């Protein structure tokens, strides 16, 4: 049985799509021509789908996947509403802070779904794409996957908690190395750092990830959800407080002169000249 779930998302504006099939909620990033780049609208839609999944008793596990050659190449800087304004620097920072807190609420709803989430990752998994994959409970990647948190190189803080989740999985040293350098790592390195549970050839990614999700879905729902809640309660201790600091750090850096310089330098293909202001 296959059931496509509708929402109030206008036709042609879909960033994600939810299909329900045989106990699985298949959540697909569906803008392959944009390399599934993320936006405020993507965040809104993720929250909508998280609410639908949470209360759908027919969904016992979630498969998070993406169309095209990339899982998610990061933030879509061309998306409408990407820049937040304010009458003063302080007001603009405040608006960014509240916007990021709003986004974190949607991410938290997804990360804390009662149903376990299995992510299937291929190609570029950069910036927010990496952070989204890290919100899943189990991560399986194709051997062509590439991961990075490049934010510091354009003058902004990691804004969705990806560095915190790397610290949880791989240790603080690796979190700092990856976030402070923006260094890219391949799938085999990510697996060695325990950021992935399995790496497979690209041709086998869909089948393997779906099989793992189906294996979870076949088990007793109450037991599965209880196990997820218990492990999350242990591993996420202190996460809420840390994410609030992440939101403030991101708001300050997104409104800084350094971030303006970082984006200008990236567009021009030159090294950035940061001044710490």
The predicted pLDDT at position 1 comes to 44
The predicted pLDDT at position 126 comes to 97
Query: Whole-structure pTM over 0.75, yes or no?
Result: yes
**118 closest CA partner among 100, 140, 99, 93:** 140
Q: CB-side exposure of 62: number of CA atoms within 13 Å? A: 30
Sign of CA dihedral 249, 254, 257, 262: positive
Strands 117-121 and 138-142, bridge-based pairing: parallel
Residue 139 has φ and ψ, to the nearest 5°, of -125, 125
d(CA 87, CA 234): 42
d(CA 253, CA 241): 19
Residue 113 Cα to chain centre, angstroms: 14
Q: Digits of tens for pLDDT over the chain (277 positions)?
A: 445 455 578 787 899 999 999 999 999 999 999 999 999 999 999 999 999 999 999 999 999 999 999 999 998 876 555 577 778 878 888 888 888 889 999 999 999 999 999 999 999 999 999 999 999 999 999 999 999 999 999 898 898 999 999 999 999 999 999 999 999 999 999 999 999 999 999 999 999 999 999 999 999 999 999 999 999 999 988 888 888 888 888 888 888 888 888 888 888 889 899 988 8
Tell me the sheet residues that pair with 19. 4, 26
Q: How far apart, in Å, are the Cα atoms of 63 and each of 48, 117, 189, 214?
A: 16, 6, 23, 9
Helix (H) or strand (E) holding 184, with range, is none
Encoding tokens for residue 120?
A: 């299937």
Residue 76 has φ and ψ, to the nearest 5°, of -85, 100
Can you list the domains of the chain with their CATH numbers?
16-218 (3.90.226.10), 221-268 (no CATH)
């Amino acid at each position: 049985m296959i059931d496509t779930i509708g929402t109030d998302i206008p036709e042609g504006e879909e960033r994600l799509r939810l299909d329900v099939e045989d106990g699985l909620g298949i959540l697909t990033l569906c803008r392959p021509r944009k390399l599934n780049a993320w936006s405020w609208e993507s965040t809104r839609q993720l929250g909508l789908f998280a609410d639908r999944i949470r209360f759908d008793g027919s969904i016992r596990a979630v498969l998070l996947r993406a169309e095209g050659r990339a899982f998610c190449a990061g933030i879509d800087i061309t998306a409408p509403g990407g820049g937040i304004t304010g009458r003063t620097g302080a007001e603009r920072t405040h608006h960014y802070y509240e916007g990021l807190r709003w986004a974190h609420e949607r991410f938290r709803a997804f990360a804390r779904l009662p149903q376990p989430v299995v992510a299937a990752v291929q190609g570029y998994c950069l910036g927010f794409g990496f952070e989204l994959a890290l919100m899943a409970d189990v991560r399986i990647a194709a051997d062509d996957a590439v991961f990075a948190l490049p934010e510091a190189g354009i003058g902004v803080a990691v804004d969705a908690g990806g560095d915190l989740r790397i610290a949880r999985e791989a240790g603080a040293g690796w979190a700092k190395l990856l976030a402070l350098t923006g260094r890219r790592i391949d799938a085999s390195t990510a697996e060695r750092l325990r950021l992935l549970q399995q790496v497979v050839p690209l041709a086998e990614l869909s089948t393997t990830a779906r099989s793992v999700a189906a294996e979870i879905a076949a088990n007793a729902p109450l037991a599965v959800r209880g196990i997820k809640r218990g492990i999350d309660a242990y591993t996420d201790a202190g996460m809420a407080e840390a994410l609030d600091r992440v939101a403030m750090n991101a708001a300050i850096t997104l409104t800084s002169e350094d971030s303006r310089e970082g984006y200008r330098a990236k567009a021009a293909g030159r090294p950035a000249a940061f001044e710490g202001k």
